Amino acid sequence: SSNGHRGGEDELGSSATKAHFVLVPLMYQGHVIPAVDTALLLATHGALASVVATPYNAARIRPTIDFARQSGLPVRLVELPLDCAAVGLPEGADNVEKIPPELHVNYFDALALLAAPLERHLRAHPPYPTCIVSDFCHAWTAGVAASLDVPRLTFFSMCAFCLLCQHNVERFNAYDGVADDNEPVVVPGLEQRIEVTRAQAPGFFRAPGFEQLADAIERARAVADGVVMNSFLEMEPEYVAGYAAARKMKVWTIGPVSLYHRHAATLAARGNTATATADECIRWLDGKEPSSVVYVSFGSIAHADPKQVLELGHGLEASGHPFVWVLKNPGFYGEAASEFLEGLEERVAGRGMLIKGWAPQVLILSHAAVGGFVTHCGWNSTLEGIAAGLPLVTWPHFSDQFLNEKLAVEVLGVGVSIGVKEPLMWQVAQKEIVVGREAVEAAVRSIMDGGDEGEERRRKAVALSEKAKAAVQDGGSSLSNLLDLIKRFEVVDAAGRTKTE
């Protein structure tokens, strides 16, 4: 279908034949960060990239986008207001951190209301988009793409292993007749024997109250024009191929997208303004032996129970290794934990660094002094650890994290499981789960000085990171995919269409 609105020059005077990608991330840090990295990558390699964000998130990423624009990259921020009142959300609740759990589903209703303003914006600000790259959680972008008559790709900052496991479990009804949520079930249709439980892998948004959303997301995914994935082929070739075949879709693996950043300045600003400055972290790490420091973080959402904070702190102290521990907002843990943390900080002065806020994570992970990563297995963190060549202590909390743990431990052989078997948040554990200090100490020792087994794990981690880095270089699979993606969504005729239409 030809479309009279297409074409036009943008404010950077760029040619209207360029591919113009509109990235619509879910407004969680774990989704926004890789989407922004992807936008920067696309813009670096000759496409225009627009990133859609609501005000709270826009404020966080604006410094990064502005910096990129100043360096001449054709990337822009599309800030759209979120109509909280329309769906009964408190004013300004435009981020997961500010939304009471019982109103979570309303938040998704508010996001769906972005459809009309986004379409209006895109029509009014040339050049016309040639491709919408939508987070898989946004089913409503299917309508926007259809109405604008442009293709839509689904964006995942998830691994193909996780997506294929989840897909197969659902397609073959693997949980049918399984009464106990904690009973292991073999994932059907894989060559390697992988077991999951319904508690660990219930399916995306398969929680009470989210039924309609989950169905809409599945429908939108099924009819997308392809998949963009923050993963790399050499890490999981059979799963990338398996997922593409299962979905009957092209999958462009373009990661690890965090490797886009090569300089301390852009790294330190990634995602948010860091509490500990890049200089501070680098100076501290420069004083440590190579591969001697453990980095401990549970991502942007998970908050440990105060009892868990104590056990974790004691375990790190007992491990004898220097550590950087990201606590996010310590006010959250209550008085007892705060007192403990103060005491700990004094006892481990010089050996332990506590970051009470946002950490420049990738900057820290890529420092030569860091030798291991205790992670909640959010996919971004997992892949960032892999890209840095680090063995992992895997400590999943919720969502895809259990499957990411299985990839790291059982498929790639670069992780040691802390042993948590049930989710801690959102899908809420049946019982209190606190990992004891001995288990923390043992897991840290096992990745940091674990004898032959530990060395083998570290060797695998380093080899994998070399593959990751090669993937994003000239001739590498991820960069080739990125270039292919850009080529495919260039304008090829006077009506403004791309090859895929």
Q: Measuring CA to CA, which residue among 137, 171, 168 is closest to residue 154?
A: 137
Catalytic position from the list 10, 37, 94, 135: 135
For residue 497, the tally of other CB atoms under 10 A from its CB is 18
Per CB under 6 A, does 450 bind ligand UDP? no
Active-site residue 135, yes or no? yes
**285 phi, psi to nearest 5 deg:** -70, -35
- Interface with ligand UDP (CB under 6 A), residue total 21
Per CB under 6 A, does 141 bind ligand UDP? no
Say how far apart CA 499 and CA 376 lie, in whole Å. 41
Q: Which stretch binds ligand UDP (CB under 6 A): 177-185, 221-229, 317-325, 375-383?
A: 375-383
**24 phi, psi to nearest 5 deg:** -120, 90
Contact of 212 with 224, CB cutoff 8 Å: no
CB of 176 to ligand UDP, least distance (A): 30
List the x/- string, 291-320, binding to ligand UDP by CB under 6 A. Answer: ------x-xxxx------------------
Say how far apart CA 157 and CA 227 lie, in whole Å. 11
User: Of 74, 313, 378, 450, which one interacts with ligand UDP (CB under 6 A)?
Assistant: 378
Active-site residue 31, yes or no? yes
Per CB under 6 A, does 415 bind ligand UDP? no
Structure tokens at 442: 């043992």
Q: Side chain identity at 22, as an amino acid letter?
A: V
For residue 195, the tally of other CB atoms under 10 A from its CB is 12
Beta-ladder partners of 293 = 370
Q: Measuring CA to CA, which residue among 272, 253, 279 is closest to residue 383?
A: 253
Q: Side chain identity at 491, as an amino acid letter?
A: V
Choice between 54 and 401, CB closer to ligand UDP: 401
CB of 449 to ligand UDP, least distance (A): 26
Mark 274-296 as b/e (b = at least 16 C-beta within 10 Å): bbbebeebbebbeebeebbbbbb
CB of 16 to ligand UDP, least distance (A): 34
Per CB under 6 A, does 129 bind ligand UDP? no
Give the helix/strand (H/E) hosting 374: strand 370-375
Per CB under 6 A, does 359 bind ligand UDP? yes
Per CB under 6 A, does 481 bind ligand UDP? no
List the x/- string, 8-37, binding to ligand UDP by CB under 6 A. Answer: --------------------xxx--x----
CB of 178 to ligand UDP, least distance (A): 27
- Sign of the Cα torsion 375, 378, 379, 384 reads negative
User: Of 58, 75, 99, 362, which one interacts with ligand UDP (CB under 6 A)?
Assistant: 362
List the x/- string, 255-274, binding to ligand UDP by CB under 6 A. Answer: ---------------xx---
Q: Which residues are known catalytic residues?
A: 31, 135
Binding site for ligand UDP (CB under 6 A): 28-30, 33, 270-271, 297, 299-302, 326, 358-359, 361-362, 378-381, 384
